[in-house]
Amino acid sequence: MARKVMLTAFLCLLLSWPASGSIDKQRALATPVSGISPQDIAAAPTFSLADSCIVRNDLGAYWKIDHWLFGAELYKAYQDPSQSCPAPYPFAVQNVNMMLFVNKLCTLYVSVDVEGLDLSVPSCPAPGNLLSISQEYGLVISPPSGGGLYQVSVPLDSSVNVNGPYFVGFYFSNYIDTLAGVALVTDSLQAVCTSYNIWDTTTGFIDLCQNSYYNFPGRLVLFSTGLPGGSGSEPAPSITLLKPGVNEIVSGSATLWGLENSGSKIINYVRFDRKNGTIWSEIGRDSDGTRALRNGVDPSGSGDGYTSPWDYSSLAEGPYWLKATVYDTLGRIAVDSHQAAIDPTPPDLNMTKPLYLDTICLPLKVQATTPDENVTQVKFEWKVAPSSYSISINNLNQASFGDINHNPSDGNHAASGEYGDYYCGPVAGAEAIKYWFDKGFIYGMREGSSYITIDTVVERLAANMHTRANKGTYDDLFYGGMVQYFLTHGNDQKIDVVRRPDYRTIRNLFQEKELFVIMAVSGTPGLYLPLTGVNGLADSQGQYAATVANPVTGTSLNSYIRNYNGGSQFYYNSVWHDIDAVFTLMGYSYTVTRNLIGTDLNGADGWSFDWNSTPLTKDSLYFVTATATDATGRIGATTMLTQYGCKTYIKGDYNDDGLVNIGDAIMLINYVYKKGAAPIGGAYRADANCSGTIDLADIIYVIKYIYSQGTQPCR
């Protein structure tokens, strides 16, 4: 309503605008521009162009009209979706576009609107009632010498549904100059009742191709885009709020993720809201539901579906209701909501010693920092990280599934009208469920009192993920299909997702946290690949050896992962493929076994603990994990992969120069009495006589040895 009032105010201003420019407008000049390529300018992010249709009543740019546009002006153009869009109605108008020729640097302020038809003269439609409007946008256009042709696109604030022809409007205002640098653009066909310009209170709108001032040589190049409704045949929208999950505790960066699962082609947008009282507040909205389809055969494309980032840093800690609402172009909506909790200041740990891939030697003071003032303890643990680590799974061939002709052994290929070529998503999910079943989480393969086969699991997942209908699996349907499956099969397993991970993240999830990791890779083809093994560290080219279960062949594939552009890639079929996301699956009550180093309960001198006498093996890999717990019981953890290796020092050589001499005695004196540097290799080496105490006796012990009057220091 406020926007309609705004436009009404504009119209009042325009209709009262003095016609002093009319004499000047009789000097309007038409110049051909038909051979010039236009440059696109978007006043704001536009609605998605996927499945959209262009509605225009012109033949393209042919003339520019100089000395006509003077500022605070509104132009209208007739639109008829039935001329260019199949089964157009109801038609959802989303974006308005106008061609302009800009002669010089110019600042424009523009907005657009949609109006119905005034059929007072049935044979000559004119602009009618306001249907929708956009906010005003500022544009600075700097053309090349001689000027340039520009197609300016402006989105409506909300799309509007029409069931017949309509008018679109383009409003100009300019608070800097009189728009003398901007020319309107027309096609080469004069046609009355198609292009209008508001004039004054007496005249109202004038027909630009038939008036007493200057007759344009063609129709305005002013058009719109939107979504044809297919006569309302599309299904009603449906939405599931995937992330955050029900009662999930959110910390760190957060992205809301909604699954629109009706298959409708006329979805307008998905809006995300939150509340912790009685009033809903918008978090964000997404009108671009583009998403990657992975089937092991075709290029995947890209996109995360309907998502919105959530910056909750200014909100109070605690539970919030979250809501996803989907709107289609017919005005139909669907809603899903549930509670989740946020912790804007979680126990977010940063381990400062050791660092990632450090070579460590005991004794070692492990150290971590956290900005959370409510942390009550930090526990330090270690775990062996075998250089070669793998898991055993059932390798399935996707061609064994998707059967139609009751002959599952014939390959089930798409060429025969079957679906086996597209089953990499359900196959990967079933392999994960079977893996955790073998570890005691049995309900994923149980229905009632009976156990089901892994083949049955594959087909159940394919139905949940709509794999046959889509000839592949979308990420949101993969995630949502797994969640739905767990809810109906005992709910003793769970799924999560990490987007665009680097190798370090993938290895920590797979080896340290012992999760089942499924990599979603894009490219040609896009597919889901369960990770089954990692081996060693990076080679000379920065590549990490990795093994996956290849659903296309039903066998293991040895290849490589590398870090790339902030994320990672997997080498498949001689091409590097982006790892868009990893899905992690685990048994609900599964716990990882680690070895305790120690727990710091006060952090008065920083969160740390002395790691002294663990028997570690030289050149072997170890995970070191710090876990913080705050006053509410929430936890945060960080993990470093390290390599164990101690340098051998000459006993008594405290400055590590290869000699034992008076310099070492001086270093020891400075350390004991003057707070100087500790002996290289660790302060424990200053206990030269191994008495358990560092004091004057150790200094005397070293000096005697230097002058050949005593035995060699023990360290």
Closest CA to 478 of 293, 299, 308, 297: 293
Q: Is residue 453 part of a domain?
A: no
- What is the structure's pLDDT at 233? 67
Query: Is 66:28 a contact under the CB 8 Å cutoff?
Result: yes
Report pLDDT digits (tens) over 424-448: 999 999 999 999 999 999 999 999 9
- What is the structure's pLDDT at 51? 65
- What is the structure's pLDDT at 202? 75
Question: Do 196 and 306 share a domain, yes or no?
Answer: no
Averaged pLDDT, 300-323: 91
| Residue 14 scores a pLDDT above 50 | no
Helix 696-706 vs helix 662-673: angle between axes, to the nearest 10 degrees? 170
Q: Is residue 590 part of a domain?
A: no
Q: Is residue 589 part of a domain?
A: no
Report pLDDT digits (tens) over 23-63: 455 567 888 988 888 999 988 766 555 567 899 989 998 99
- What is the structure's pLDDT at 17? 44
Q: Is residue 586 part of a domain?
A: no
- What is the structure's pLDDT at 264? 85
Q: How far apart are CA 75 and CA 634, in angstroms?
A: 59
Averaged pLDDT, 558-583: 97
**Residue 220, Cα to own-chain centre: how many angstroms?**
40
Contacts of 70 (CB under 8 A, 6+ apart): 21, 24, 25, 178, 179, 180
- What is the structure's pLDDT at 15? 43
Instruction: Quote the percentage of the chain above a pLDDT of 70.
Output: 93
What is the DSSP secondary-structure string of 52-70? -EEE-SS----EEEES---
Give the Å distances, CA to CA, from 258 to 337, 493, 518, 596, 702.
Answer: 10, 21, 20, 40, 70
Angle at 248 between CA 245 and CA 254, to 5 degrees: 80
Local structure of 700: helix, strand or coil: helix
- Both tokens assigned to 123: 């044979």
Averaged pLDDT, 602-619: 86
**Residue 600, Cα to own-chain centre: how many angstroms?**
37
- The mean-pLDDT minimum among 342-346, 496-500, 538-542, 581-585 falls in 342-346
Tell me the residue range of the domain where 623 lies.
350-386+602-644
Local structure of 570: helix, strand or coil: strand
* DSSP at 407: -
Averaged pLDDT, 119-124: 93
Greater model confidence, 324 or 86:
324
- The mean-pLDDT minimum among 54-63, 416-425, 684-693 falls in 684-693
Report pLDDT digits (tens) over 225-254: 988 875 456 788 999 999 999 999 888 789
Burial of 37 (0-12, 13-18, 19+ CB in 10 A): exposed
Q: Is residue 76 part of a domain?
A: yes
- What is the structure's pLDDT at 25? 58
Angle at 415 between CA 409 and CA 420, to 5 degrees: 45
* DSSP at 664: H
How many helices (H) does the chain have, and how many strands (E)?
9, 43
- What is the structure's pLDDT at 231? 44
Q: How far apart are CA 525 and CA 522, in angstroms?
A: 7
CATH classification of the domain holding 254: 2.60.40.10
- What is the structure's pLDDT at 715? 83
Buried b (16+ CB within 10 A) or exposed e, 169-197: bbbbbbeeeebbbbbbbbbeebeeebbbb
**Can you give the length of the chain in residues?**
715
Contacts of 564 (CB under 8 A, 6+ apart): 576, 578
Question: Do 623 and 659 share a domain, yes or no?
Answer: no
Averaged pLDDT, 164-190: 81
- The mean-pLDDT minimum among 12-16, 114-118, 424-428, 613-617 falls in 12-16
Report pLDDT digits (tens) over 469-509: 999 999 999 999 999 999 999 999 999 999 999 999 999 99
Query: Is 193:76 a contact under the CB 8 Å cutoff?
Result: no
Question: Do 621 and 658 share a domain, yes or no?
Answer: no
What predicted TM-score, i.e. pTM, was given to this entire model?
0.67
| Residue 303 scores a pLDDT above 90 | no
Query: Is 242:230 a contact under the CB 8 Å cutoff?
Result: no
Question: Do 608 and 629 share a domain, yes or no?
Answer: yes
Per-chain mean pLDDT for the chain: 89
Question: Do 45 and 184 share a domain, yes or no?
Answer: yes
Question: Do 151 and 168 share a domain, yes or no?
Answer: yes
* DSSP at 220: B
Report pLDDT digits (tens) over 353-372: 999 999 898 889 999 998 88
Report pLDDT digits (tens) over 499-549: 999 999 999 999 999 999 999 999 999 999 999 999 999 999 999 999 999
Question: Do 379 and 355 share a domain, yes or no?
Answer: yes
Contacts of 198 (CB under 8 A, 6+ apart): 11, 14, 15, 73, 74, 75, 76, 204, 205, 206
Question: Do 299 and 222 share a domain, yes or no?
Answer: no
* DSSP at 86: S
Query: Is 288:269 a contact under the CB 8 Å cutoff?
Result: no
How would residue 66 be classed by pLDDT, with cut points 50, 70 and 90? confident
Greater model confidence, 392 or 172:
392
CATH classification of the domain holding 680: 1.10.1330.10
The strand ranges marked E within 374-512 are 375-384, 388-390, 446-447, 450-451, 473-474, 493-499
- What is the structure's pLDDT at 180? 57
Q: How far apart are CA 561 and CA 540, in angstroms?
A: 13
Question: Do 191 and 305 share a domain, yes or no?
Answer: no
Question: Of the residues 614, 644, 674, which one is the last residue of a structural domain?
Answer: 644
Averaged pLDDT, 301-330: 91
Q: How many domains does the chain have?
A: 4
Q: Is residue 401 part of a domain?
A: no
Question: Do 310 and 271 share a domain, yes or no?
Answer: yes
Query: Is 223:54 a contact under the CB 8 Å cutoff?
Result: yes
- Both tokens assigned to 583: 């899905």
Averaged pLDDT, 275-297: 92
Question: Do 156 and 269 share a domain, yes or no?
Answer: no
Question: Of the residues 196, 228, 260, which one is the last residue of a structural domain?
Answer: 228
Greater model confidence, 343 or 324:
324
Q: Is residue 451 part of a domain?
A: no
- What is the structure's pLDDT at 549? 98
3-state secondary structure 274-329: EECCCCCEEEEEECCCCECEECCCCCCCCCECEEEEECCCCCCCEEEEEEEEEEEC
Instruction: Quote the percentage of the chain above a pLDDT of 90.
Output: 61
- What is the structure's pLDDT at 27? 64
* DSSP at 475: H
- Both tokens assigned to 641: 């992969």
Residue 445 CB neighbours (<10 A): 21
Alpha carbons within 13 A on the beta-carbon side of 62: 13
Amino acid at 314: S
Burial of 318 (0-12, 13-18, 19+ CB in 10 A): exposed
Question: Do 263 and 182 share a domain, yes or no?
Answer: no
Q: Is residue 356 part of a domain?
A: yes
Identify the helix (H) or strand (E) that includes residue 462.
helix 454-464
CATH classification of the domain holding 609: 2.60.40
- What is the structure's pLDDT at 228? 84
